[in-house]
């Protein structure tokens, strides 16, 4: 199963089970910017405890590794858990919807869009993808996050609400990273 097929399966399962979701991370940044190879699918889910069992069963043990106890633990701790496609090693990171102000705002702004040529699904808006990439950059320092941000700004430039990003970057302690990204692009 390639990554596109895995994404189709994931979206189908989430929608069939009525689990609100949005793509984030590299796949979301590629939707607005420059594509790059990634071995994982990052998705924020508003998962209820009663949905965990059905979600885990939808990823058969012959093809996937998923732990229902890890999923329940992630739900209780508001963190994340993984589903791994055994044959390819592709990983799905299911991030439980954060309870903070930005997490709620980001999820409320998600939009349905074409995420593959033959698949519609919910995706974070470009401004929120940028903010998420800045958070990950601050946590790990990986340049790939800054490259993703600059790719979004190059491709989707005028469609990005920079005042929204600036406002949240200030509140989240990311203003220095945001200013560095803008300076790198000469903006």
Same domain, residue pair 44 and 77: yes
pLDDT tens over the chain, length 187 residues:
889 999 999 999 999 999 999 999 888 988 888 877 777 999 999 999 999 999 999 998 889 999 999 999 999 999 999 999 999 999 999 999 999 999 999 999 999 999 989 999 999 999 999 999 999 999 987 888 988 999 999 998 889 999 999 999 999 999 999 999 999 888 7
Kindly report the backbone phi and psi dihedral angles of residue 10, in degrees, each rounded to the nearest multiple of 5, phi listed first.
Answer: -60, -50
Q: How many CA atoms lie within 13 A of 169 on its CB side?
A: 24
Same domain, residue pair 90 and 120: yes
Q: Which residue range is the domain that position 97 belongs to?
A: 1-124
Same domain, residue pair 7 and 99: yes
Q: Using an 8 Å Cβ cutoff, are 26 and 148 in contact? A: yes
Q: How far is CA 7 from the centre of its chain?
A: 12
């Amino acid at each position: 199963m390639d990554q596109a097929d895995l994404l189709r399966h994931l979206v189908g399962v989430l929608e069939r089970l009525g689990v609100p979701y949005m793509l984030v991370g590299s796949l979301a940044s590629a939707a607005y910017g420059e594509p790059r190879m990634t071995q994982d699918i990052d998705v924020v889910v508003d998962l209820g405890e009663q949905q965990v069992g059905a979600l885990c069963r939808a990823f058969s043990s012959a093809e996937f590794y998923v732990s229902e106890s890890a999923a329940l633990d992630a739900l209780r701790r508001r963190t994340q858990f993984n589903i791994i496609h055994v044959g390819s090693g592709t990983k799905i990171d299911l991030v439980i919807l954060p309870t903070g102000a930005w997490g709620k705002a980001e999820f409320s702004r998600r939009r349905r869009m074409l995420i593959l040529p033959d698949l519609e699904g919910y995706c974070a808006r470009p401004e929120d993808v940028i903010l998420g990439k800045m958070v990950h950059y601050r946590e790990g320092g990986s340049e790939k996050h800054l490259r993703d941000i600059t790719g979004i700004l190059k491709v989707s430039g005028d469609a990005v609400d920079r005042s929204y990003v600036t406002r949240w970057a200030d509140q989240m302690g990311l203003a220095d990273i945001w200013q560095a990204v803008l300076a790198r692009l000469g903006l």
